[in-house]
């Protein structure tokens, strides 16, 4: 009887040990999986941990050597790091049209710029290769949408090459339209159209008319609606859409909605000091409002 009890106890201990081992193994596998996911990379990116985000995107590329999203996401990380270094996303530069137009041409980091465009060249090459075999490849179309959008952001917000930025914006919108035909629920695709519609809709009427002749339409309210859709239902780009919406609300003098978005971003990405800084800026403006 005693021997039987001891035997059962030993069996129970072995089962518990095996379960513990299995749990640790599963947890390790899950950690490895999450550590090399694009979602994890973007989470690090929005928390301003650019080096770790780069390592995650690099690991993704090693595991998915033919996937264009890897280098496209890495380029997004490089652009965001430059935005952070140069203060591009601070709302004071977008407070009104006059302030934005008078912004200075910034001095980019040459090495980062080279890495940025090299990553986009790689993304474009992989995407076009996949589209040549499958014209409805969702990830290829998403990568090209992101690539053109990132080029537009770099040209317009860092280099102040507005015409080049409009060209890339038009390109991004065209890829996004193709993507939405293939996958109507890819809400990240609405970001490109939203940015295009809002920026062009904010231009003076004569300039807006000339741009429309070039095949690019503009409507501020439609742009905000597209950004809201990405912010609410997007995937990788939802936080970026929320940042852009906050900037748009500051421009539209809707400080309450801007602050609400910034608070939600601060809560989701506590390591990103930009959100705390912008909330403080809005609060200071409210206190000193006549």
Domains present along the chain, CATH in parentheses: 34-287 (1.25.40.10)
pLDDT > 80? residue 36: no
Structure tokens that stand for 130 in this block: 């996949």
What pLDDT score does 134 carry? 96
Q: What is the pLDDT averaged over residues 79-103?
A: 73
pLDDT > 70? residue 215: no
DSSP 8-state class, residue 218: -
What pLDDT score does 98 carry? 59
In angstroms, rounded to a whole number, what is the distance separating the alpha carbons of residues 279 and 264? 11
What pLDDT score does 218 carry? 64
Among the residues of the chain, which ranges form H helices? 2-35, 38-46, 50-63, 69-86, 97-101, 110-133, 138-153, 162-182, 190-201, 205-213, 220-233, 238-251, 255-268, 273-287
For the stretch 116-132, pLDDT in tens is 999 999 999 999 999 99
DSSP sequence for 256-285: HHHHHHHHHHHHH-TT-HHHHHHHHHHHHH
What pLDDT score does 232 carry? 95
For the stretch 231-268, pLDDT in tens is 999 999 999 999 989 988 988 889 999 999 999 999 99
Among candidate residues 179, 180, 189, the one with its CA nearest the CA of residue 234: 189
- Cβ neighbours for 273, distance < 8 A, ≥ 6 positions apart: 48
CA atoms 164, 166, 171, 175: torsion sign: positive
> How distant is the alpha carbon of residue 16 from its chain centre?
44
Pick the range with the lowest mean pLDDT from 180-189, 192-201, 243-252, 253-262: 192-201
| Average pLDDT score, the chain | 80
């Amino acid at each position: 009887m005693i021997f039987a009890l001891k035997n059962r106890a030993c069996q129970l201990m072995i089962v518990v040990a095996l379960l513990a081992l299995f749990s640790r193994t599963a947890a390790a596998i899950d950690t490895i999986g999450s550590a090399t996911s694009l979602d994890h990379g973007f989470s690090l990116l929005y928390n301003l941990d650019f080096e770790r985000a780069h390592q995650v995107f690099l690991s993704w590329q090693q595991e998915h050597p033919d996937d264009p999203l890897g280098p496209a996401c890495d380029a997004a990380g490089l652009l965001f790091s430059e935005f952070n270094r140069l203060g591009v996303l601070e709302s004071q530069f977008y407070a009104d049209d006059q302030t934005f137009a008078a912004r200075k041409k910034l001095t980019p980091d040459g090495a980062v710029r080279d890495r940025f465009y090299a990553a986009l060249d790689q993304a474009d090459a992989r995407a076009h290769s996949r589209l040549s075999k499958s014209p409805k490849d969702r990830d290829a179309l998403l990568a090209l949408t992101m690539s053109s959008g990132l080029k537009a952001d770099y040209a317009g917000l860092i280099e102040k090459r507005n015409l080049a930025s409009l060209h890339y914006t038009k390109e991004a919108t065209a890829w996004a339209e193709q993507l939405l035909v293939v996958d109507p629920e890819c809400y990240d695709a609405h970001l490109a159209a939203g940015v295009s519609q809002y920026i062009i809709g904010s231009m003076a009427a004569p300039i807006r008319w000339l741009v429309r002749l070039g095949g690019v339409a503009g409507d501020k309210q439609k742009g905000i609606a597209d950004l809201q859709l990405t912010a609410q239902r997007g995937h990788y780009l939802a936080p970026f859409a929320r940042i852009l919406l906050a900037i748009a609300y500051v421009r539209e003098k809707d400080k309450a909605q801007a602050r609400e978005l910034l608070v939600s971003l601060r809560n989701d990405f506590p390591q990103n000091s930009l959100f705390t800084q912008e909330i403080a800026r809005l609060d200071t403006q409210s206190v000193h409002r006549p």
